[in-house]
Structure 1
Amino acid sequence: MLRDDLRAFWTEPRPPDAPVRVWRDWVLVVAVLSGVVSEAVLRTDVVWLPVAVTESVWLCVLTLWRRTRPLAVAAAGFGSIIVLQVLSVVFAAPEPVGLYSALVVLILVYALPRWGSGREIVSGGALILTTFVLSVLTDDIPVADQIGGFVFLLMPAVVGASVRFWDAARERQVERARSVERERIARELHDTVAHHVSAMVIRAQAGRVVAATDPAAAVVALEGVEEEGARTLEEMRAMVAALRDSRTTGADLAPQAGVADLGRLLRSHAGHLRVDLDLDGELASLSPAVDAAVYRIVQESVTNAMRHAVEATEVVVRVVGEPRRVRVTVTDDGARTGRGRAGYGLTGLHERAALLGGRLRAGPGTDRGWQVEAELPKGRTDGRVHSRPRR
């Protein structure tokens, strides 16, 4: 287990889409350079002032590439510190060489676990640890100060790793939201196509029956097929476009059909079954998600009845708005057969109801036929995940 965890850490890639530079980088550069100038002018105790100024400016400039080249800038920054430490020992500098502004190197410590890959974090961490050990060996520092200095050096790395973990968790949450949304749109696409294609088949069959005796009626049927086909293509284009958008997290598509559209929906099912619609109670205050879900449940249930009901003559659709819930019942009077195989349509109805905090049951009716019953909360709305700027 530990070996697998270490291997996973070693092969961890860099976080994707790291920003090159943002306005905060330039503010940091200006602030550090201002500090360098102030120290160069005001301080009189600096050893090797030109070298110390050059070192601080070099570390400041390196921060501009800390996100895109975290290991390279860490190597360049701490490598220069190692060189400076060696030179101070060789030439016996009376005091440590450097300015307070050189503390900007802690930004590079933060950037390494925040933006580096697993290999870069290990390699850069070894270099930083080497720099610290060399500093301890070359400077006469008490043990307590050594421990404090190590904690001080480690804290930016801990913060960087924490921010990276938080950002990765948020990205996973956003991706889950995207997946749920794409599944929802896929169900919408299935429901829409199934409904329209069923209506087209029924109209085409009706046109074929009356073609020989009533050509005008056949033309009307063909016009209905054309209209259904055009509507299907229009809705498919919108939904497929949303599915192709990898950043979809709840995009507002064309207005979705709802309870108010049920009359038009059921009139389009003019075929061998009579469809009765009964709307009762308060249905105007449904949330958009529940409103669309009621429409799709009725659409899929009626479509299934048209396709599969044996010896059926009537489908009864009843939608009742209660104070806190809405109940949907779709029943046909066909023969009670083993019509229980769950395709994507029926599976989608169960998933849709569960997603909204409701429930759905589909099975043989009490006396005969098939019955779909759904109960949905009236106030449930779709959740949305908003992305935030990355640090």
Structure 2
Amino acid sequence: MTSPVRAMWDAPAATPPPPRRVWRDWALVGVIPVIALIEVALRPDVPWRVLWVVVLVAIVPTLLWRRTRPALMLAIAFGATAVVTVVTGSDSQLVTTAYLLILVYAAVRWGTGRAMLLGATIVLASFLLSLLLGPVLPSDVIGSVAVLAMTTTLGVAFRGRAAARARELDRVKLQEREQLARDLHDTVAHHVSAIAIQAQAGTAVAAADPDAAVEVLRVIEGEASRTLAEMRSIVRVLRREEGHELAPSPAIADLRQLARPESGGPVVDLQLTGDIEAVPPTIAATVYRLAQEGVTNARRHARNATRIDVLVHADDAGIRLDVRDDGDPAASAAPGYGITGMIERATLLGGTCQAGPAPGGGWVVTAVLPRSGWST
């Protein structure tokens, strides 16, 4: 076999897979025999009309398996009509015979590459048989070829459209999974990190200052409650519960929550400059998540850090976010899920995000979201 033919032969069935039965199948099986009987009654001049109508009605059930066994059903139907053609010496002149085109369409629309090639061979053999048994007008040949070409084209078109839809659905699902992974990491991980830091601080002061330990427990309780609330919100969205109102997306002003003092942790200094109010909600939510992840990473990983500076500046060019800590000098590290999610968020809006050691020590995260991507 040549390479194109081999590739066609090995082609898989259509995606998504076809339904086994739909109401239209039973409707066709019920209506076509009635139409065939009516046509035979109205056209007494058709030769061998009784034999043809018996055969056409007998092979109508092939329509029920045309999606799951397209090549076999096509072979049965065209094989039966070929036998009658040889016996009678002429093709069927009943218009009802046109329903066989449904089988041709099904082979192209749902079949594997093997089924399509076998179906094409069967149809071509049936066509050549008709040419050999008697004289055929050129107009009939042209008309038959045109009808077969149109049927095949429709099958290919609908098959391609369905495959494109399936690919688009897979792409959307992948984007949703990535978005969910980023949200889970950026929200839940932030609160869990705060809980871990507070627990460490509570352990350190419990013996010397019980009142401070109690205060730490209250902070842990608050962080745990917020974590559960956000988890429940995400689960409700995934389950699409009726009556559940989605919580508003975080805004630039919500960044002040990141500056809440935490016992034993570095101080967060937040500075908002420029026309912050003009930032669209989608961009504001992205900036919040980027800053949240940057602060979480600094609290979790920065050694001996006493201060985390968060600077958000909006101007005509876009918006810039800098998260910098004053921890010990850090070597470059392989990006984890958090940094990967930050880069993905910025890239989706046409921006950039970089994270690495800061000059003079510590770690710095810089994200730039150009105004050209704000309409996304």
Smaller-chain TM-score bracket: 0.7 to 0.9
**DSSP-derived class of the 2:151 partner:** helix
The structural deviation recorded for 1:212 is 1.9
Aligned 8 A contact 1:53 1:98 in 2: no
- Aligned residue number for residue 303 of structure 1: 296
Aligned pair 1:101/2:96, yes or no? Answer: yes
| Structure 2: distance between partners of 1:37 and 1:382 | 63
The structural deviation recorded for 1:290 is 2.6
Distance 1:367 1:268, change over 3 A: same
- Aligned residue number for residue 132 of structure 1: 127
Aligned 8 A contact 1:29 1:61 in 2: yes
Aligned 8 A contact 1:327 1:374 in 2: yes
After TM superposition, list the pairs within 5 Å mapping 1:146-185 onto structure 2.
146=141, 148-185=143-180
The structural deviation recorded for 1:108 is 0.9
Aligned 8 A contact 2:322 2:365 in 1: yes
Aligned pair 1:13/2:13, yes or no? Answer: yes
- Aligned residue number for residue 187 of structure 1: 182
**DSSP-derived class of the 1:221 partner:** helix
1:53 corresponds to which letter in structure 2? V
Q: Which runs of 5+ in 1 are unaligned?
A: 90-94, 246-251, 384-391
Aligned 8 A contact 2:109 2:159 in 1: yes
**DSSP-derived class of the 1:350 partner:** helix
Residue of 223, 234, 237 corresponding to 1:228: 223
Aligned pair 1:81/2:81, yes or no? Answer: yes
1:65 corresponds to which letter in structure 2? W
| Structure 1: distance between partners of 2:293 and 2:262 | 12
More divergent stretch after superposition (354-363 vs 334-343)? 334-343
- Aligned residue number for residue 313 of structure 2: 320
Aligned pair 1:71/2:71, yes or no? Answer: yes
Aligned 8 A contact 1:59 1:104 in 2: no
Distance 1:5 1:97, change over 3 A: closer
Distance 1:21 1:284, change over 3 A: farther
Distance 1:168 1:269, change over 3 A: farther
Moved over 6 A (4+): 240-245
After TM superposition, list the pairs within 5 Å mapping 1:371-386 onto structure 2.
371-377=364-370, 380=373
Aligned 8 A contact 2:16 2:163 in 1: no
The structural deviation recorded for 1:32 is 4.8
Q: Which runs of 5+ in 2 are unaligned?
A: none
Count of matched residue positions in the alignment of Structure 1 and Structure 2: 372
| Structure 1: distance between partners of 2:64 and 2:334 | 61
- Aligned residue number for residue 215 of structure 1: 210
Aligned 8 A contact 2:258 2:268 in 1: no
Aligned 8 A contact 1:59 1:105 in 2: no
Aligned 8 A contact 1:308 1:339 in 2: no
| Structure 2: distance between partners of 1:363 and 1:303 | 15
1:112 corresponds to which letter in structure 2? A
The structural deviation recorded for 1:144 is 6.3
1:164 corresponds to which letter in structure 2? R
Distance 1:231 1:314, change over 3 A: same
TM-score, with normalisation over the residues of structure 2?
A: 0.82
| Structure 2: distance between partners of 1:315 and 1:111 | 65
| Structure 1: distance between partners of 2:374 and 2:29 | 46
- Aligned residue number for residue 249 of structure 1: none
The structural deviation recorded for 1:27 is 6.5
How much is the aligned-residue C-alpha RMSD, in angstroms? 3.6
Distance 1:258 1:76, change over 3 A: farther
Distance 1:33 1:371, change over 3 A: same
The structural deviation recorded for 1:256 is 4.7
